[in-house]
Amino acid sequence: MLVFSQSEGAKWNYPVKPGSKVWNSLKNNAEKVQNCQIPSDVLATMNTRDLLKVCLNYPLLPDIFAFNNIKDGFTKFENDFNGFQELLKRDDAPDELLKKYKSIEPSAIPASGTILEKGNYVLSMSFIELFISHPLIIKKINTNSKKEIIKELLLKKGKKKNQPDWYQTTGIQTNYLAITSIVLSDSDKFKSELDMTKVSPYIYSGVLTTPEILNQIDQVTNKYLKNH
């Protein structure tokens, strides 16, 4: 199982954590999922910023990438975790996601950190990009905010490409997934300009693609920004 160490405490924290004696005694994934649920009374009173922190600290979150298809892993996470289900209902979720995303600098990988800590930092951006890509999140974003988010995604993508040892695979893939999801949410006209038979396998499954396909996404994204 992939391991993700917890960071940035919120007002509620997981009572059973990976590596603990109790966690190691859990027999299967179903028992781990059950132990990660947020009590309903806490969920109802938690503000969105703290809720996002808890979602990003979800102990099984990295398991999204254990699937052959990111979409399948992301769907399981959504179905399993009541915290993310609640986040999808919050009208201010897009604002909090953008604030958090802006606060993360791709080049600020902790130099003195362990491999796990460095990996956690890198993955934190991919998790936020995945959250942003969800249709229920995108549905809450107006056109101007979509442009702002895309511009931030493009900025982060450029910086990630300067750190290929850390971001050249998943880090770029989830970025393109978020961008493409937003662009295609407004109009099907952009879909006709993308070769979805090659774009979909890349953004959802991580299938290796060509520079031409990535350039195609970049061109459509630039056109979207100019036309909105």
Average pLDDT over residues 82-100: 97
Average pLDDT over residues 173-187: 91
SS3 annotation, the chain:
CCCCCCCCCCCCCCCCCCCCHHHHHCCCHHHHHHHCCCCHHHHHHCCHHHHHHHHHCCCCHHHHHHCCCHHHHHHHHHHHCHHHHHHCCCCCHHHHHHHHHHCCCCCCCCCCCCHHHHHHHHHHHHHHHHHHHCHHHHCCCCHHHHHHHHHHHHHHHHHHHCCHHHHCCHHHHHHHHHHHHHHHHHCHHHHHHCCHHHHHHHHHHCCCCCHHHHHHHHHHHHHHHHHC
What was the pLDDT predicted at 186? 79
Average pLDDT over residues 205-226: 89
Average pLDDT over residues 22-36: 96
Among the listed ranges 100-109, 120-129, 200-209, which one has the minimum average pLDDT value? 200-209
> pLDDT at residue 131 above 50?
yes
Largest Cα span, the chain: 56
